[in-house]
């Protein structure tokens, strides 16, 4: 993996001079500096308290105030409404059908069978009867009404879990490599993810005070030591951390702010970590100063220095990130603004020493390995496909919610969520495999899914996400069926191709690094991106903008035909499209918007 600043950046690229002061925390000074609206909300919040406690007592509406709607994200929640019901409720002069999405913080996506049973109970009692495994390697609940929020949070706390920092301008749920064939390396990845998650957690007691009626700490929000790392303004934007173990990149390390790539010796023992910075997926349609970006590989650190590096990277972003223009506040824009060389120098200065340059590594793909896998320790792990991560009982189909509950009742190991929205029944002794297999068969949990479907991701989108411009979770299964027919007609039914869809350009399902990426533009209209790398290391390029859903198959079919005719041995679909000249190769973030569209006529 090349250092982008030496390989892809012009030698005469001019960077800005980084700031030298900590972020503004005084309200008057923030107004004078014209900081973004969210900065004022955070400064005035009393360390994430706002008026949330009082707002929960207002029974006249299922909503909360706009400012509290921003603060509640730090507590792991988003206020939503059922958009399928908006028009009818408006006609009847009723309030919107408000409810909350609640996301848990589960470092590395690992839960015990006992915890699974509690989470299942919560889904059936307070949510919409489903659990959703997210692309952030955790669970989300949908449909929790305001009057049930505290009951739900108490139940989550009772399972020794929480939701603090699952959303908001903080270090969010830390993801880690999941399929533990390389047992020692994966254990190290999980331990690092858990350590970073705990160490970079906000220290405010607001979560327990508001949701669990915890007693207020003496001094409350006036205590200067409440947030020794984050301060009153926390981070400029969301911050996502990943731990990956080659050769699998199932956590998509290049799509996130901070990443650690395990460097292993010939016996699969960990020698240290390559550190990546500056990845991110979100953008805004029509605004070319926003773009997705793949992360740079910055340095190599030994295992004992990994937490120090994580803290330093986050605090540099805390101090250097753009707090005036929120759409340009992610770490990827900080790297573009000040340069990787300056960023690395500041990280090393804060730690107090220089680090080695990155070590060689190789990824093979960013999908999951389905079925049974045996680890180096003799334990067994079963990865089950879950369409769009929606854990529910399907009429006349797989009974995923009930089946996994039954497995949790007898399972002696643990469960692991993957970054691809699937579930692993992990750490199964060899003599218990048959029992698990019987339950899988009884509940239809291993129903066949073709190669394209196995490599698909979708965000929730409509009807609950307020940002969605088009369908995603509800539409992608049908589209995949259409594309599977095209692939089969060209002899490609078993070819692994990644496809991802989102209802808006924020990129929650990471569509820009899928070989086929579809991003909602409006009702039944999508931007089609092609040419990304199968291992998640290269962005795609816009091939067709504002494409009607009815034309997606017709647009892709000739490209499938060309791929079948002209590909080289072992060549992936995205690589073929770039080599054959159908789409330009994206080499960095700003380049994402250049040289778009079909570059070569296709028969």
Using alpha carbons, select from 388, 543, 557 the residue that is nearest to residue 483: 557
508 marked as binding residue? yes
Question: What span, in angstroms and rounded, lies between the C-alpha atoms of 113 and 78?
Answer: 27
In order of 6, 74, 228, 319, 344, the CA distances from 313 in angstroms are 21, 20, 16, 10, 9
Q: Is 303 helix (H, G, I), strand (E, B) or coil?
A: helix
Token pair 């991560």: residue? 389
- Strands (E) in 118-256, as ranges, are 131-133, 139-144, 175-176, 241-244
Burial class (CB in 10 A: 0-12, 13-18, 19+), 134: buried
Rounded CA-CA distance 427/72 in Å is 36
Determine whether 65 is exposed, middle or buried from the number of CB atoms within 10 Å of its CB (0-12, 13-18, 19+). Answer: middle
CA distance 568 to 565: 9
- Residue 312 CA to residue 145 CA, distance in Å, equals 39
Question: Could you write out the three-class secondary structure of 495-548?
Answer: CCCCEEEECCCCCCCCHHHCCEEEEEEECCEEEEEECCCCCCCCCCEEEEEEEE
For the chain, the C-alpha Rg in angstroms (whole number) is 23
DSSP alpha helices (H): ranges in 94-163? 113-125, 149-158
Measured N-to-C along each axis, helices 331-338 and 306-320 cross at an angle, to the nearest 10 degrees, of: 80
236 touches 168 (CB < 8 A): no
Phi/psi zone of residue 375: left (φ > 0), alpha (ψ -120 to 50 degrees), beta?
beta
Tell me if 459 is assigned to a ligand binding site.
Answer: yes
d(CA 347, CA 494): 45
Residue in the structure block whose two tokens are 């949701």:
211
- State the virtual CA torsion across 453, 456, 462, 465 in degrees, nearest 10: 150
Residues annotated catalytic, as ranges: 103, 172, 238, 240, 459, 465, 504, 508
Locate 15 and state its tokens.
Answer: 């960077």
Distances in Å between the Cα of 258 and the Cα atoms of 238, 244, 282 are 11, 11, 15
Was 504 annotated as part of a binding site?
yes
Query: Cα(318)–Cα(543) distance, rounded to whole angstroms?
Result: 36
User: What's the Cα-to-Cα distance from 370 to each of 347, 386, 447, 473, 553, rounded to whole Å?
Assistant: 39, 11, 12, 21, 27
Q: Which residues, in sequence order, are CB contacts of 177 under 8 Å at separation 6+?
A: 185, 186, 189, 190, 243, 244, 245, 248, 250, 251, 262
- Half-sphere exposure at residue 365, Cβ-oriented, CA atoms within 13 angstroms: 15
Tokens in use for 151? 């009951």
- The structure tokens listed for 80 are 């939503």
Residue numbers in the known binding site are: 459, 465, 504, 508
Residue numbers in the known binding site for [4Fe-4S] cluster are: 459, 465, 504, 508
Residue numbers in the known binding site for siroheme are: 508
């Amino acid at each position: 993996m090349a250092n982008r600043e030496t390989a892809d950046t012009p030698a005469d690229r001019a960077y800005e001079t980084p700031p030298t002061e900590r972020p503004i925390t005084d309200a008057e000074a923030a107004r004078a500096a014209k900081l973004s609206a969210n900065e004022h909300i955070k400064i005035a919040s009393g360390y994430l308290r706002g008026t949330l406690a009082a707002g929960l007592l207002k029974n006249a509406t299922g909503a909360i105030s706009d400012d509290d709607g921003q603060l509640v994200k730090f507590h792991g929640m988003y206020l939503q409404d059922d958009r399928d019901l908006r028009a009818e409720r408006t006609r009847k002069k009723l309030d919107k059908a408000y409810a909350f999405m609640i996301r848990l913080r589960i470092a590395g996506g690992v839960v015990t069978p006992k915890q699974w049973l509690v989470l299942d109970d919560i889904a059936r009692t307070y949510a919409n009867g489903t659990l959703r495994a997210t692309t952030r390697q955790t669970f989300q609940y949908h449909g929790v009404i305001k009057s049930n929020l505290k009951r739900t949070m108490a139940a989550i706390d009772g399972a020794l879990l929480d939701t603090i920092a699952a959303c908001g301008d903080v270090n969010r749920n830390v993801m880690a490599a999941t399929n533990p064939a390389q047992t020692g390396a994966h254990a190290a990845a999980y331990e690092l993810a858990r350590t970073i998650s705990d160490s970079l957690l906000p220290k405010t007691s607001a979560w327990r005070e508001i949701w669990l009626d915890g007693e207020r700490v003496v001094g409350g929000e006036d205590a200067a030591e409440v947030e020794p790392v984050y301060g009153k303004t926390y981070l400029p934007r969301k911050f996502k951390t990943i731990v990956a173990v080659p050769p699998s990149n199932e956590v998509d390390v290049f799509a996130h702010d901070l990443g650690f790539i395990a460097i292993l010796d010939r016996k699969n023992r960990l020698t240290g970590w390559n550190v990546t910075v500056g990845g991110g997926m979100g953008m805004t349609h029509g605004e070319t100063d926003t773009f997705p970006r793949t992360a740079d590989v910055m340095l190599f650190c030994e295992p004992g220095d990994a937490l120090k590096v994580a803290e330093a990277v986050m605090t540099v972003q805390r101090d250097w990130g753009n707090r005036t223009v929120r759409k340009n506040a992610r770490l990827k824009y900080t790297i573009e603004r000040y340069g990787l060389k300056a960023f690395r120098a500041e990280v090393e200065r804060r730690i107090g020493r220089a680090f080695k340059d990155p070590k060689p590594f190789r990824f093979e793909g960013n999908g999951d390995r389905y079925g049974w896998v045996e680890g180096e320790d003799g334990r067994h792990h079963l990865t089950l496909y879950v369409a769009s991560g929606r854990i529910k009982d399907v009429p006349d189909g797989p009974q995923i919610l009930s089946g996994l509950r039954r497995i949790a009742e007898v399972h002696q190991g643990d469960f692991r969520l993957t970054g691809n929205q699937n579930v692993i029944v992990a750490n199964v002794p060899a003599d218990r495999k048959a029992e698990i297999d019987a339950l899988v068969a009884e509940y239809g949990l291993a129903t066949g899914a073709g190669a394209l479907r196995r490599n698909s991701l979708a965000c929730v989108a409509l009807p609950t996400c307020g940002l969605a411009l088009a369908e995603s979770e509800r539409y992608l299964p049908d589209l995949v069926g259409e594309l599977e027919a095209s692939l089969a007609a060209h002899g490609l039914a078993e070819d692994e191709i990644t496809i991802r869809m989102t209802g808006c350009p924020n990129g929650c399902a990471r569509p820009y690094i899928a070989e086929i990426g579809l991003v909602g533009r409006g009702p039944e209209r999508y931007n089609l991106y092609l040419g990304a790398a199968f291992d998640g290391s290269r962005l795609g390029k816009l091939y067709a903008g504002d494409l009607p859903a009815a034309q997606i198959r017709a647009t892709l079919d000739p490209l499938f035909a060309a791929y079948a005719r002209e590909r080289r041995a072992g060549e992936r679909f995205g690589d073929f499209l770039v080599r054959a000249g159908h789409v330009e190769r994206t080499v960095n973030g700003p380049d994402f918007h250049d040289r778009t569209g079909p570059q070569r006529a296709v028969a």
